Chains A and B, each alone.
Chain A
Amino acid sequence: MLEILNEFIVALRASGLPISMTEHLDAATAISHIDLGEREVFKAALRATLVKSEDHFDAFDLAFEVYFADRSMPEDPHGVDGDAGGEDFDGGETPGTQGGGGAHEALSAEELAQMLEEAMRHGDPEMRNTVAREAVDRYAGIEPGRPVGGTYYLYRTLRHLELDPLAERLLEERRQGAGTSSHLEDRLAKDEIGARIDGLKKAVEAEIRRRLVADRGADALARSVRKPLPEDIDVMHATRDELATLERALRPLSRKLAVRLTRKRRHLRKGAVDFRHTVRRSLSTGGVPIDVRYKHPRPAKPEIIVVADISGSVASFARFTLHLVYAISSQFSKVRAFVFVDGIDEVTHLFDEADDPMDAVARINAEADVVWIDGHSDYGHAFKAFHERYAEEITSRTSVLILGDARNNYHASEAWVVADMQARARHVYWLNPEPESYWGSGDSIVQQYGEHCDSVVEVRTLRQLEKFVGELA
């Protein structure tokens, strides 16, 4: 057991979870106190001792499924699991079985579909798991030894199950059965069915993962299903799911950042002596001013001007940065935002109007007038336009943030604008979402601009972004 635990912890560390020696020992002690047969309890014990942040639960759950799924397999009520597994391997050995491998299955395709419908109709988890098992047997066509994470098999299985029409059908059935059709009930029924179908998807996924572990071993699978933690996702290359994760992670992140900065500000003890307060305190020590009190310092909050490239290549990155800057805008005395592709436009008002920075960011794409000729990045022209219209507004209290990869499509760089900004502003920072090794390759001219910036920072993940913004304020 300790051996497996050890492997498990190595896998967790590999996916980025900070697990200390003490926590490892705690986990080992913890599992000696519990009944290992109780899977949920076992999982809770490991999670309580090893994972100390909610953000890491997903990574933990995934690893747990991989390492402990097969070993603590729930007792199978129908006793068909062993056979089914065997048949699966038979079918699997000849890749490309088109469901014909199910000839000696207990259930035909129609029976399976029927059972699925029943399971979904009554929300019976027992039946659902059986359906998931059968469906994987029938449709996934798992090929032994292929180093994949299972997503492909999942899609293949789900496609055959035709869940969307099924949901529609069940919903329609409900409507007919209920007679009345208030929108509220309708909505509730829809969510109920949605939840059941999600449950089925999860069951199928778990089933596939279990087969894969049996096939290739936990270590190999853990490597192929490993996902980066939310704060480590590369914004430029994030998939749609990952972007959704990022958006969810962004809100608490900006809240935390704001709290931290407020505190930092309040606790800087550099203010002048507060004479009145000191005298008042001295009364309790007989008029001797032992406890010297200071005024709260009021450090000047910086003004921020964000100039963001929102051309296709870096759009998602610009969104996150704008969002974060705006979410903590209470930490700055003023925030102004400009976006450009080859033309430039101010979008500050969009943030002021919208309640939620995410809405504002969504509106930017629709409303900002940023295209001058062809909608390909032209930093030179955008900067020149900026200089003509807004240069006067940069003061010695302003920090300018320029966001972009500086891939200029071989246009003129007009780097003198950045030099001019630096002369006017307190700081000019360039945030580049590309890895540092790519800078200056191809049409990237970040070096030309970088000469005139206080620093050029690589910001590819939320972690880096948070760090930068924290230092800025």
Chain B
Amino acid sequence: MTTDGSTADRFKTPEEVSARLRDVDYLADDAIASTVFLADRLRKPVLVEGPAGTGKTQLAKSVAELTGSRLIRLQCYEGLDESKALYEWNYRKQLLRIQASQVGSVEGPGWAELEEDIFDEDFLLTRPLLEAIRADEPVVLLIDEVDRVELETEALMLEVLSEYQVSIPELGTVKASQIPMVFLTSNNTRELSEALKRRCLFLHVGYPDIERERLIVETRVPGISTELADQISRIVRTIREMDLRKAPSVSETIDWARTLVVLGRKTIQEEDAVETLHVLLKYQTDIDKARAELTGQRR
């Protein structure tokens, strides 16, 4: 970790990213490690896209952990606006200030003086984006599920994402003292604007290959045998090959592995697999289909 976050690089090589992520139990593939590395070098935000439950949000958390940064999270939702994302004037406090200035004196302060007074940082409520910019210590900013906000709201973030600054008309421009690492996640429910995409590095986190999945299961589920982890990842691969409404995600795979460990299984028999399928799959039609395929029994 570096003390002077504004100029020094956080990582030396993509391998270092990969190794340090592994230390905090996040197994990155080449694409993830290189993109995080580049995000740091190019000082650009990363737009992480992919199916639900593949560790998009976890990536930001893990990066925060390994760099010893504070994680600032902005959860997006429909109707998110400036006052929730950037900043807001604390008008109740401003009102009190105006009233207080009149108490006890016949002649209050002049308007100009008062105006200067109430549009001061003391009256500013910082919201996640501004907070990340103003922070002195290293931070990681996570803008979660950015595809949920309206297209117009995206524009709010553009200044932060490209210049790392926020313009407040009454105060002037707040520039970042250190460049935060920024992760945006998206479940791809709509096309994000070109302007946003252009400012970001794009990272698609898909389902891991069989080897990586096995390692993830082994890392995340304490006390699991290599043999069981191997079997789990192979079954999951087979299930993902099927034509299902919702393929099992990595987090569901981990849940399943935990279930099997709790049940005290050393290897998976056909019955075990079939009985615990509901942990892995969330639709009844999918469960039926997978059961039929795995056991070879047609309904």
CA distance A53 to B44 in the complex (A): 17
B294 touches A (CB below 8 Å): yes
B 26-56 contacts with A by CB, 8 A: 30-31, 33-35, 37-38, 41-42, 44, 46-47, 49-50
Give B contacts to A, CB under 8 Å.
13-14, 30-31, 33-35, 37-38, 41-42, 44, 46-47, 49-50, 78, 150, 188-191, 194, 197-198, 200-204, 210, 231, 234-235, 237-238, 241, 245, 268-270, 273, 285, 293-296
**B202 / chain A contacts, CB cutoff of 8 Å:** 47-49, 51-53
Does B204 lie within 8 Å of A26, measured CB to CB?
Answer: no
Q: Could you say which residues of chain B place their CB within 8 Å of the CB of A52?
A: 47, 197-198, 200, 202
Is A44 a contact of B31 with CB atoms below 8 Å? yes
Return A47 CB to nearest CB of chain B, in Å: 7
Decide if A274 is an interface residue (CB 8 Å cutoff): no
Contact A187 B38, CB 8 Å, known A41-B14, A255-B189, A259-B190: no
Say yes or no for A35: interface residue by CB 8 A criterion.
yes
* Contact between B285 and A355, CB atoms less than 8 A apart: yes
Kindly state whether residue A393 has any CB partner on chain B within 8 Å: no
- Give the complex CA separation of A260 and B150 in angstroms: 10
B198 A34 Cβ-Cβ under 8 A? no
Give per-residue flags for A24-57: 1 if the beta carbon is below 8 A from chain B beta carbons, else 0: 0010011001110010110011011101111001
A to B CB contacts below 8 Å, 7 in the list: A33-B37, A45-B38, A48-B203, A49-B38, A54-B50, A184-B295, A192-B234
Number of interface residues of A (CB under 8 A): 41
- The answer to whether A188 touches B234, judged by C-beta atoms less than 8 angstroms apart, is yes
Closest chain B CB from A377 CB (angstroms): 32
**Chain B nearest CB, measured from A268 CB (Å):** 13
**Once the chains bind, are A184 and B42 in contact (CB under 8 Å)?**
no
| Known A188-B235, A263-B78, A267-B150; contact A48-B295, beta-carbon cutoff 8 A | no
B232 to chain A, nearest CB (A): 11
Bound Cα distance from A252 to B186, whole angstroms: 14
A18 contacts the other chain (CB 8 A)? yes
Tell me, yes or no, whether A437 is within 8 Å of chain B by CB: no
> Do B204 and A38 touch (CB < 8 A)?
no
A255 to B246, CA, bound (A): 13
Q: How far is the CA of A87 from the CA of B203 in the complex (A)?
A: 41
Interface presence of A58 (CB below 8 A): no
Task: Determine how close the nearest CB of chain B comes to the CB of A323; give it in whole angstroms.
Answer: 15
Asked if A26 contacts B44 (CB within 8 A), the reply is yes
Give min CB distance, B4 to chain A, whole Å: 19
Please tell me if A441 contacts chain B, counting CB pairs below 8 Å. Answer: no
A232 within 8 Å of B (CB atoms): no
B78 touches A48 (CB 8 A): no
User: Within 8 Å CB of A29, what residues of B?
Assistant: 42
Whether the Cβ atoms of B294 and A34 lie closer than 8 Å is no
Bound form: Cα–Cα A256–B148 in Å: 12
Most buried by B among A47, A48, A183: A48
Q: Is the CB of B273 within 8 A of A30?
A: no
Residues of chain A within 8 A (CB-CB) of B37 are 33-34
Residue among B42, B189, B241, B245 making CB contact with A191, cutoff 8 Å: B241
Do A252 and B38 form a contact, CB below 8 Å, given A57-B204, A182-B269, A267-B150?
Answer: no
CB-CB under 8 A from B78, the residues of chain A are 263
On whether the beta carbons of A183 and B270 are closer than 8 Å, the reply is yes
Q: When chains A and B are docked, how far (Å) is the Cα of A202 from the Cα of B235?
A: 23
Are A23 and B198 CB-contacts (below 8 A) given A187-B294, A263-B150? yes
In the complex the two chains form, is B238's CB within 8 Å of A191's CB? yes
Given A40-B34, A184-B273, A256-B188; 18 other pairs, CB 8 A cutoff:
A20-B194, A33-B37, A33-B41, A34-B38, A44-B33, A47-B202, A53-B197, A53-B202, A54-B49, A54-B188, A57-B204, A183-B270, A184-B268, A184-B269, A191-B234, A263-B78, A355-B285, A356-B245
Which chain A residue lies CB-closest to B231? Answer: A188
Cβ-defined contact, B38 with A33, below 8 A:
yes
Q: Collect the chain A residues with CB atoms within 8 Å of residue B269's CB.
A: 182, 184
Report A244 CB to chain B, min CB distance, Å.
11
- Bound-state CA distance A65–B42 (Å) is 25
Please state if A252 and B188 are interface contacts (CB–CB under 8 Å).
yes
Question: Is A176 part of the binding interface, using a Cβ–Cβ cutoff of 8 Å?
Answer: no
CA distance A400 to B38 in the complex (A): 52
Cα A29 to Cα B44 in complex, Å, equals 12
Q: Is the CB of A44 within 8 A of B41?
A: no
Q: Which residues of B contact A187 (CB under 8 A)?
A: 238, 293-294, 296
B270: chain A residues within 8 A (beta carbon): 182-184
Residues 251-292 of A at the B interface (beta carbon under 8 Å): 252, 255-256, 259-260, 263, 267
Complex CA–CA separation, A176 to B6 (angstroms):
63
**Residues B190 and A260 in contact, CB atoms below 8 Å apart:** yes
* A93: min CB distance to chain B, Å: 39
Given contacts A29-B42, A52-B47, contact A35 B189 (CB under 8 A): no
What 0/1 readout, one digit per residue, does chain A (197-241) give for beta carbons within 8 Å of chain B? 000000000000000000000000000000000000000000000
Q: How far is the CA of A26 from the CA of B194 in the complex (A)?
A: 15
Chain B minimum-CB-distance residue to A54 = B204
Nearest B residue to A358, CB-CB? B243
Q: Which residues on B sit within 8 Å (CB–CB) of A184?
A: 235, 268-270, 273, 294-295
Q: Which residues of A contact B30 (CB under 8 A)?
A: 40-41, 44
| B189 closest partner in A (C-beta) | A259
